[in-house]
Structure 1
Amino acid sequence: MSMTLYFAKLNLVSDNIFELYDNPNQRNAISRALYEAINANKIWEKENLFIDANGEQRSTITEYSTHILRVDDTYSYIEGWLYKKSKLYYKTLNSMTNTLVQQSTENTEGNRFALDLKHGFVGYNTSARFGYKEFIEAFENIINLGEQELKFEYRYNMSLCVSGINLDEIKKELTSIGKIKELKIRMQAPNPSDELLDDLQRRCDGLVKEFKDANVTELEFFYSTKGASGIDLTAPLIDEKINDIQGLHSGLPVEESTKKGYVSVEATSTTGRKYTSGDSKPIKRIINGIEDFFDSCIEAFRQL
């Protein structure tokens, strides 16, 4: 049975990333800690609020956990499951009173995943009640819980891998949603490929150098207006910050930065339309079945 794979990128947001810039051998320590964090078998709990049949607000807890199936001989890749344990609510007809009665039952969903320990790429499938965005939120939190439990200083965020878009495409998409009332621009220190890491050894320039000098791992700008005419994207205050997206590093194209989650742009129009660069074109791969999962993910990682 065919499966659709999604891909995401774990990125360090702790200042250990700058230690990697200075010493590429740190990649081994980071990857080993990442394996230990998953192997810690931490459970992340998320509270969800809902309205019951009587119109009262109630809460339920969803639990997420991981299970490792295998690790390759070089401790470069792992395969496992991310489980979601929750309650499903449904109604039945009480034949005595002829009224609907709310019932619940426990349910567990599982998404298969593969992880590139050295470069942070994750490949995974989805299920009917466990979507690709929910997977990212749960996986990120489980990793950080494990790192914290084991007293490691590494902390991560996680982004969906999308087909990279350039600066002109971003500006075009922003214009297309109409008058904008809110705009958020986020940039972070890149978690480099081996090639970019070599480049950083030769020259650390652009915003990456400014990040490193200031010990800043993330930078975020938020703009808002109550005016009916919306934010003027061509004004220097806004346009210069949007253009900064292409200045992270001389060896890092905008397409790669958007694909791997190093930069993102989000906007909301005055009519409620939304644009998010990180959701635009998810990278997917269709495989024949679960037996091809691990090898297909590793092949895809080498192309991301």
Structure 2
Amino acid sequence: MLPSDGLGKKFSGSLEGDALLFVVYPRSPFLISPHLAKFCPRGLPVPCLYENGACRRILEIEGHLVPYKVFIASEGMKPKLVVQIFSRDKSLAGKALNKVREIYRVNFDYSRFLKRTEGTPIYPIARKHYGLRPTGVPSVYEALIDSIIEQNISLNLAMKIKAEFVRQFGERKTLSGEEYYSFPIPRKVGRLEPATLKKKIRTTLVKANAIIEVAKLAESLPPVEEIEEKPEDFMRYITRIKGVGKWTAELSIAKVSRNFNIGPYGDLAVKRGFQRTFGIQSEEEIREIMSGLEEYTGLILYLMALEGHRKR
């Protein structure tokens, strides 16, 4: 039996060649394509590739590499996603589909968020980006490495380094003339020498060391549920790695969490967004303007980072 989407509708699943097709109806309003366009640059496998209104990558599910492709059929008030999962194993495909639903945050209630911001300075920003949310990251391991790569460099450069990391050490499959990539698995990354990784992806030695240390710890990283319950414990644990500070820990939690309780207040794009919009940028002032909206911290900081990235 295929799982419900949590809104009383069922996924439809049908076999097409070596793929199972599913239709998913996200909770409205729903907007995801602007995020994909910005954070999955054309031609750069990070590992997702977003082209012609569809996003594709490979997931690792229980030791199996499962390629999938999500077609953004419609957004707004009547959103619809068509998901193509390349597996004839319905159980495996179902698990991959559940992970895709988490990644695309299809059950997030943006209307409730909008209502909560009414009467606050955040409301115009919430209205401007109506339905938008970031995609989630499939694992704590991937979220940490993503965040390490993004430290103290421009978003464009981070995407290029991430793509090179994926090309060099991830798995690649070609299906119907299209390339699909996986994020590099921990055991492969953990065997690398820091100097080799530094040279291969053109990053710093400190970042290369941190990436390898995270890969070595991957099997012992706490589950997402535990991190959400005790984020401070996770931050104390992971910041013992040289090259992983508070910003990296906060960003990694924001990327992988199923809620928006945590976000990187110290992010430069976030500060720039608050400066442009409200004329403030200190963490104390930002926390004050967001008072009462703490459960949406990650989403608000994400939207403000977009304001910070925006060309004036």
> Which category describes the TM-score, using the shorter chain as reference length?
under 0.3
TM-score, structure 1 length as denominator? Answer: 0.26
More strand by share: 1
TM-score, structure 2 length as denominator? Answer: 0.25
Rg (Cα) greater in structure: 1
More helix by share: 2
- Higher relative contact order (CA closer than 8 Å, sequence separation 6+): 1
